[in-house]
Amino acid sequence: MRSLACGLGWAVAVLLAVPPTARAADHAYVGAKKCKMCHLKEYNSWAATKMAKALELLKPGAGAQAKKAAKLDPNKDYTTDATCLGCHTTGYGKRGGFVDAATTPDLAGVGCEMCHGPGGTYIQKEYMSLQNKEFKRAAVVAVGFVAPVTKDQCANCHNAKSPFFKEFNFEQRVKQGTHEKLPLKYPH
């Protein structure tokens, strides 16, 4: 019995020694609707962007002229094409990420978590939640929240591998914003 207790104590010590950010990479995706509960203005601003409707662009007939210019079949349904889904959905191929439009409709399109990291941990009540409205940004960053967004994150999709690639001016896009720079509802 003593060896079991020592073994459990050792396991707990190892888990506590691993920095939270090291474990953050395996968090589950929760979808933009979870963000909407506290960030309604940001959600509404984002919902009006192409990013929110990115999966729709893969449907037959959508963006036909752009697809033709990129030498793609405008009548083909690309909504199940794995080479497209990583950049047109949220968390495709990752734990809790987009599976398909029927199974995970809340992860269709490029949602909040594509830029800010999977929210499975940082939206828990002890971090960013209605139960903890005065959380500190450093605490949620330590458990996986990504802020600020970097050029490298954007370049995961905005790159020459995309058939629609155009030079991407990160600084200009940050100024325009995916969603407006809005005051936070609660101080962080």
Question: What are the extents of the domains in the chain?
Answer: 22-176
Architecture of domain 22-176: Orthogonal Bundle (1.10)
Q: What is the residue-level pLDDT of the chain in tens, covering all 188 positions? A: 444 444 434 333 333 333 444 344 568 999 999 989 888 888 998 898 889 999 999 999 999 999 999 999 999 999 999 999 999 999 999 989 999 999 999 999 999 999 999 998 888 878 887 787 788 888 888 888 888 888 998 899 999 999 988 887 888 877 776 655 555 555 55
Helix (H), strand (E) counts: the chain: 10, 0
pLDDT at 63: 94
pLDDT at 30: 93
